[in-house]
Amino acid sequence: MSDRLISVNPTTGKEIASYEIHDEKRVEQAMKQSRKTFEEWRQLSFSKRAVVLKNIAKEIRKEKDRLVKLAVMEMGKPISQGYYEVEKCAATLEFYAANGAKFLADEVVKTDARKSYVSYQPLGVVLAIMPWNFPYWQVFRAMAPTAMAGNVIILKHASNVSGCALAIEKLILKAGAPKGLLQTLLIPSSRVEKLIDDPRISAVTLTGSTAAGSKVAEAAGRNLKKQVLELGGSDAYVILADADLDLAVAIAIRGRLVNSGQSCIAAKRFVVVKEVYKEFVERYTEQMKQATYGDPMDEKSRIGPMARIDLRDQLHDQVLKSVEKGAKVLCGGFIPEVPGAFYPPTVLTKVKKGMPAYDDELFGPVAAIIEAKDEKDAIRIANDSIYGLGGGIISRNRGRAEKLAADELQAGSCFVNDFVHSDPHLPFGGTKQSGYGRELGSFGIHEFVNIKTVYVK
């Protein structure tokens, strides 16, 4: 096994940096520092913690150019989307700085006691296992509420974005945060289980694949440690007969191509009722043909490369296997003869159960369009998935669409006439094999606290 983690530019396929893997001595130093920092950090008032979070937000904005270019280099993020990502991180830190004290205020409950209330105390050191697709947002989405609640974080980031991981730790320290509030460990995934076993780790949060979530849940469960798991998704967008097709196509394009299609909550399946199926397919395919890929450093490029060659090849294999089983390619569906990990926007129709395009998560710019007989059949197809992260309904009848989204779609986030996205004001997470627990909103800050009953007779 290599003793270094390698960063490869997916646009060129060339190595850009390598990082020495942290040995057990370095891990032990980090664990000791985390426990020491936690005992100090947990004693600070919410107002003092808020000052630190706001200073980190300022530092993110100050460093935004460097941060964005690093993400473009390490995982191929289109540069304009990179700027949006880092601003969202800063805004989320400010959101919890402003609202953390309110969310975690003691809650008085009337009982037969002289005094009784619910209080919230931090748990300790939270291990954050994060993916490469949003190398800053995924981290700060977890870190902001977790730290505001009084916890500290050990970050195990994806190996191909080690530069981003180290940049996060550095900017947090530069912002005046205490040493140990967040520490990055450069270790391979094979050493994560040992970290979870360490009694100094109090809880675990992971964003990643369903397979990775299952392994983490097993290790954390064996140690009786709290987990939050945000896993894979195969979001279905139901397009009803009365949908505004201009809006439907625009939402479907943006929802499928965000982050070059590499998002857990990207639109992946489009379930279209038969009345508008043909017209939607024609219009959507024409738009996908026009959405060309290019250098992610060019602000005009809507789509960059996929993050790694092996991920691109895996996606292509899913397309080929779907075609073998009867799916039809309307555009894309090939590996371009250019350097890097590019894959063209691809549309598949005649998609049926038993195909990877129907059953599995397509983590890249490939859209599966499925025809439904009617509204009831469309909802059935949308829910016919092991995943339940997000979903959407597109219809002119907002009231009817809202009822379907609220009562019928089996997903953690259901949107009407918009593409699924996260917002710090609202809880985010999934159901079924898309995981459990919630990030963001008031729910996110309550995940890693001891909900304590205090009863005074």
Burial 387-415 (b: 16+ CB within 10 A, else e): bbbbbbbbbeeeeebeebbeebbbbbbbb
Residues 399, 277: one domain?
Answer: yes
Residues 222, 275: one domain?
Answer: no
Could you tell me if residue 20 is inside a domain? yes
- What are 4-33's pLDDT values in tens digits? 999 999 999 999 999 999 999 999 999 999
Residues 216, 325: one domain?
Answer: no
Which of 300, 342, 295 minimizes the C-alpha distance to 72?
295
Residues 283, 413: one domain?
Answer: yes
Residues 377, 443: one domain?
Answer: no
Helical segments of 336-412, H only: 356-359, 375-383, 398-407
In angstroms, the CA 291 to CA 144 distance is 35
Average pLDDT, rounded, for the chain: 97
In angstroms, the CA 413 to CA 360 distance is 19
Could you tell me if residue 428 is inside a domain? no
> Residue 295's domain is classified under what CATH number?
3.40.309.10
**Both ends of the chain: CA-CA distance in Å?**
61
Q: Which amino acid is at 333?
A: G
Residues 183, 202: one domain?
Answer: yes
**What tokens were used for 203?**
């809880």
Residues 311, 439: one domain?
Answer: no
Q: Which amino acid is at 296?
A: P
Please give the backbone phi and psi of residue 423, each rounded to the nearest 5 degrees, phi first: -145, 130
**Which uninterrupted H or E stretch holds 147?**
helix 137-148
Residues 204, 248: one domain?
Answer: no
Burial class (CB in 10 A: 0-12, 13-18, 19+), 451: exposed
pLDDT score of 50: 98
Could you tell me if residue 46 is inside a domain? yes
Residues whose CB falls within 8 Å of the CB of residue 222, separated by 6 or more in sequence, listed in order? none
Residues 315, 295: one domain?
Answer: yes
Residues whose CB falls within 8 Å of the CB of residue 13, separated by 6 or more in sequence, listed in order? 309, 339, 340, 341
Is residue 210 within 8 A of residue 434, CB to CB? The reply is yes
Could you tell me if residue 174 is inside a domain? yes
Longest dimension (CA), the chain: 76
In angstroms, the CA 254 to CA 187 distance is 35
Query: What's the number of domains the chain is made of?
Result: 2
| Beta bridge pairs of residue 262 | none
pLDDT band with cut points at 50, 70 and 90 for residue 292: confident
> Residue 122's domain is classified under what CATH number?
3.40.605.10
Q: Which active-site residues does the annotation give? A: 230, 264
Residues 273, 199: one domain?
Answer: no
Could you tell me if residue 184 is inside a domain? yes
CA distances from 104 to 98, 101, 116 (A): 12, 5, 16
In angstroms, the CA 56 to CA 174 distance is 8
pLDDT band with cut points at 50, 70 and 90 for residue 3: confident
Could you tell me if residue 187 is inside a domain? yes
Could you tell me if residue 322 is inside a domain? yes
| Beta bridge pairs of residue 108 | 117
Q: What is the pTM of this model?
A: 0.97
Residues 27, 121: one domain?
Answer: yes
- What are 55-65's pLDDT values in tens digits? 999 999 999 99
**What tokens were used for 187?**
């270790």
Residues 446, 410: one domain?
Answer: no
- What are 102-138's pLDDT values in tens digits? 999 999 999 999 999 999 999 999 999 999 999 999 9
- What are 178-210's pLDDT values in tens digits? 999 999 999 999 999 999 999 999 999 999 999
Residues whose CB falls within 8 Å of the CB of residue 101, separated by 6 or more in sequence, listed in order? 46, 47, 50
In angstroms, the CA 199 to CA 20 distance is 26
Q: What is the mean pLDDT of residues 229-235?
A: 97
When computed from its CA atoms, the radius of gyration of the chain, rounded to whole angstroms, is 23
pLDDT score of 2: 67
Please give the backbone phi and psi of residue 354, each rounded to the nearest 5 degrees, phi first: 100, -10
Could you list the residue range(s) of the whole structural domain that residue 80 is in? 4-231+434-456
Could you tell me if residue 429 is inside a domain? no
In angstroms, the CA 219 to CA 292 distance is 43
DSSP-derived pairing of the beta strands 152-156 and 125-129: parallel
Helix, strand or coil, per DSSP, at residue 114: coil
Helix, strand or coil, per DSSP, at residue 45: coil
Q: What is the mean pLDDT of residues 386-394?
A: 98
Is residue 371 within 8 A of residue 391, CB to CB? The reply is no
Please give the backbone phi and psi of residue 332, each rounded to the nearest 5 degrees, phi first: 70, -145
pLDDT score of 224: 98
